[in-house]
Amino acid sequence: MNDSSPSDVAAITPANIRIFDTTLRDGEQSPGFTMNAEQKILFAHTLSDLGVDIIEAGFPNSSPADFNAVRTIAREVRGSSIAALARCHPADIEACASALQQAASPCIHTFISTSPLHRQHKLGMSREQVIEHVIMGVSLARKHVDNVEFSAEDASRTEREFLVEVFNAAVEAGARTLNVPDTVGYGTPEEMRALFEYLRANVKGAENVVFSTHCHNDLGLAVANSLAAIEGGARQVECTINGIGERAGNAALEELVMALKVRSGWYNATTRIQTPRLLSASRLLSRITGIQVQRNKAIVGANAFAHESGIHQHGMLKNRDTYEIMHPQDVGWEESQLVLGRHSGRAAVADRLRKLGYVLDDAELDRLIAEAKSLTQTQHAISDRDLQRLVEGEQFGP
Ligand code: KIV
Ligand code: ZN
């Protein structure tokens, strides 16, 4: 397996990637994922325990409910920095400052659209007016907190030279983090990497700020684009649990973090995430929102560590590395599952029977496998109870 990095990594200290979770803001604002204040607070504690560096708790000026949720999270949750979102509008920024007052480590995240499409059709602003808003927004936010993040909404569809002007203005006004959103999930990995390299080479004072990536999943590329941004020099990734977020969602935190961990030889980057807590965070979010992840979802889906085909099960029984690239326990599963079904083979059935305490001779095993497989005409999987009944000769039926 080729896990080497393009450069000689031996002498280089791994980069720390800051995880900025926006489940409670970008995730929560998408259809079907609305949470009440109590649920948001519970989930914020879970994110902090997970090791998230920055929790974006909401958009305080969007509603009194969001204001109160952000204020309570800022007061109660320790261990992560708490961010709140504001347009480059004085009222939004004042609402953030007020909601974040009791946070131990507050961050105001202010943004404005920069692409030609958004300038013309959404804002009705010239380039100069956009820059004026950036300066006003970031400077006002800096009067309240040290840690100000500025986002250029629709950055990936913005003229590169103008994006540099916008970011120069933001840095001069005091922004500490420059976020480069792929707001509509239009970018490709190669473009994202090149964009970050370009910005790091051209923004004045780039060495004193953190570049951040925020990718949406409209083409299913959000995680790949975030990883490419890291290759281009991003040191903060904005993402959400289960990848929830506007439209097709944001980059999924669990996938991004495990890609960095499993392919550490390639990315040479670490995060603070306690990966064995990933599954429970995912399940808590599903319980709160009532929306389950699909079975084949990477890391946290029911099939992520389940094997049904005979060939795969046989391989797994000999050496799990044949069909698994990480241990299920690393992300919170108890163990892999060898699901007995129509595609399963002799080795897996014999192994399960042994675990249940039955050792059958070849002829008995053949008979039992035939009977077990006939059950799959009416059911998907063969359970331990099914096997026990077959061995014991118990009758099936209602
Ligand atoms: O997708 C986006 O551009 C955003 C910004 C507000 C950061 O969510
Ligand atoms: Zn977004």
Closest atom of ligand 1 to 111 CA is 6
pLDDT by residue for the chain (398 residues), tens only, comes to 445 444 444 456 789 999 999 999 999 999 999 999 999 999 999 999 999 999 999 999 999 999 999 999 999 999 999 999 999 999 999 999 999 999 999 999 999 999 999 999 999 999 999 999 999 999 999 999 999 999 999 999 999 999 999 999 999 999 999 999 999 999 999 999 999 999 999 999 999 999 999 999 999 999 999 999 999 999 999 999 999 999 999 999 999 999 999 999 999 999 999 999 999 999 999 999 999 999 999 999 999 999 999 999 999 999 999 999 999 999 999 999 999 999 998 999 999 999 999 999 999 999 999 999 999 999 989 999 999 999 998 766 65
Element (H, E) at 147: strand 147-153
Q: Are 388 and 357 in contact (CB under 8 A)?
A: no
Q: What pLDDT does 11 receive?
A: 55
Query: Can you name the residues that pair with 79 across neighbouring β-strands?
Result: none
Q: What is the ipTM of this complex?
A: 0.99
Ligand closest to CA 109: 1
For residue 330, with 0-12 CB atoms within 10 Å meaning exposed, 13-18 middle and 19 or more buried, which class applies? middle
Measured in whole angstroms, the distance separating CA 323 from the mean position of its chain's CA atoms is 24
Q: What pLDDT does 14 receive?
A: 81
Q: Are 242 and 282 in contact (CB under 8 A)?
A: yes
Closest atom of ligand 1 to 238 CA is 7
Q: What pLDDT does 3 receive?
A: 55
> How many angstroms does the Cα of residue 122 sit away from the middle of ligand 1?
14
Q: What pLDDT does 13 receive?
A: 76
CA–CA distance, 116 with 171 (Å, rounded to integer): 22
Binding-site annotation, residues for Mn(2+): 26, 214, 216, 250
